[in-house]
Amino acid sequence: MTKNKTLLAAVLCVACLGGALGAAPSAAYANSAQSQFYGVDATGAMMADGESPVIVEKERLIFDLNELPSNFYETAEEFLGYGGKVTAEYNFYNPSEYTVTSKLLFPFGKTPDYYVYDSDESPDDSLKYGITVNGKGAETNVRYTYSNGGQFDADKDLALVSDDYVEDEIFSPDMAVTEYQFSVSGLYGKNYTAPYAAFEVQKGGNTTFIFNANGGKVSGDALFAGTWVNGGETLTVYAAGEPEVPQWKIYDDGGMKKEIDAQITLKTTRTLTFKELAMEGWDENGPVSETDWYNASVACLNQNYMHSEFRLTSFTKYFRSMYESLMRWYEYEITFAPGERVVNSVTAPMYPLINRDWEPSVYQYTYLLSPAKTWKEFGELKIEINTPYYITESGINGFEKTETGYSLALDGLPDGELTFTLCTAEKPEWSRQYKNSILMTVLIYSALILVPLILIVAVVVALIVAHRKNKKRRMY
């Protein structure tokens, strides 16, 4: 039989987003989902966007959480020594009469916040574990896509994985870009509240401005993009497409009502291609491929438009900041013979959100199950949580205590997601610090409400008393 290679872009997700104290809310999450099936080869017929014949007879989730992560690690060695992990074991079956070669993608999240970066090197935990097919190691690549921290979307996030430079409506590798650098002067010795510089972006223009603005204000057909400035500061703006020099104005504050006597002067102009701009900060010796970095830069720009009607966007070029915004994916292939059953195991690090508002701290895990409903068929789901700690909360009822932790068996997928919280104590309590912060918040808001109210009452009483005294004087 001649095999024409087909592509099944299947999402088998363990996307683990770490959160540490003081970080924005995040969670470790995962899911398994089928996305697309492009062809068959038994009779030579090709299908475009058909359904995959491959089904999931059984999925076994094994969480090995015998240690809880620190909210920070001072060295890469300490960070890489953390052993929390999850293994997703899939029992696949190809009931069709033709061979299917599938490319599978398994996202396992961004680099968590736990590591304290003291250099430009990022600890690479992507190859700590591995992927097996019928017990044998599978050749695996690690792919990267831009993630802005929003909720994982199987279809949208999967579409960002590409072997070629992405075809974009605005940006292309050879597109001309002009870099403008401006200097700020005239602020020294002046008592301005919060000097704020802004330039105008017209609706429907032929230029896309790339600038890390702090804010913006729409007025008619113009968007005023601005940032707070200091004397001697350098501002950099990129104009993609037709060259257009930004025309700046400086205001007393971010309200942009009162212009002040300060200057922004054009210092340098440089022309480059968009690819050169997109690749700034890329480390050719680092883990991210040139294609993935370029495509992540395009996705970053497309996700960070300040306003949908104006062509003004922003992105971070520096390696470490961009790297911390990248979703990691395991990429590998499986070939299913007609009627063949395959056991595929994927193991990845598991990072929870750490919540220190409790005593002891609690560790919140989320594993997304809903995307797995895109498979043609999905059978039994068995969940094992191997841990010496207590599950204090769970989004799915029915977990039973075992000698090694907890377990749950389900006939098919539940309606919700798998969420659970671990703690070293069975019944954690709000921390004293958290209680004090709540009390302080209540007192502050009470003061904000009561003090003006008392002042108003005092003024009203004083006016009434004064009015009565004046009335008595007039009577006599």
Number of domains in the chain: 3
Sheet holding 222-228, edge to edge: 215-219, 222-228, 196-202, 248-251
Domain shared by 135 and 20, yes or no:
yes
* Strand-by-strand arrangement of the 207-210 sheet: 263-273, 176-185, 234-241, 207-210, 312-313
CB of 331 closer than 8 Å to CB of 10: no
Shared domain check, 40 and 132: yes
Is residue 157 in some structural domain? no
Looking at residue 77, its pLDDT comes to 86
Residues 139 and 205 in one domain: no
For residue 389, CA distances in Å to 85, 112, 234, 318, 384 come to: 15, 22, 52, 39, 13
Residue 363 resides in a domain: yes
| Element of type H or E holding 294 | helix 290-303
Looking at 316, 333, 349, which one is the last position of a domain? 316
Structure tokens at 470: 């004046």
The CA-atom distances, in angstroms, between 412 and each of 35, 280, 379, 409 are: 19, 47, 5, 9
Looking at the fold, whether 271 and 360 belong to one and the same domain comes out as no
- Indicate the SS3 state at residue 5: coil
Question: Do 470 and 398 have their domain in common?
Answer: no
**How far, CA to CA in Å, does 256 sit from each of 190, 195, 216, 225, 265?**
17, 9, 10, 11, 19
1 within some domain: no
Query: So what's the pLDDT on residue 111?
Result: 80
Q: What is the CA angle 113-24-366, rounded to 5?
A: 75
Say yes or no: 437 and 413 in one domain.
Answer: no
Q: Are 355 and 451 members of one domain?
A: no
Residue 142 lies in a domain: yes
Residue 15 shares a structural domain with residue 62: yes
Same domain, 346 and 360: yes
d(CA 361, CA 355): 6
Name the token pair of 316.
Answer: 């971070």
pLDDT digits (tens, 9 = 90+) for 112-157: 877 665 555 667 888 888 899 999 999 999 999 998 766 777 778 8
Q: Are residues 126 and 206 in the same domain?
A: no
Model pTM score: 0.79
Residue type, 474: R
Residue 167 domain-assigned (yes or no): no
Measured from the Cβ of residue 87, the count of other Cβ atoms closer than 10 Å reads 18
- The verdict on 212 and 257 lying in the same domain is yes
Give pLDDT < 50 ranges for the chain: 1-10, 12-29, 31-50, 434-435, 438-439
Q: Are 424 and 354 in contact (CB under 8 A)?
A: no
Tell me what pLDDT residue 4 has. Answer: 35
Last residue of some domain: 285, 316, 347?
A: 316
- Whole domain around residue 115: which residue ranges? 8-149+325-430
Q: Is position 126 within any domain?
A: yes
Could you tell me the CA-to-CA distances from 109 to 19, 113, 182, 329 in Å, in that order? Answer: 12, 12, 38, 8
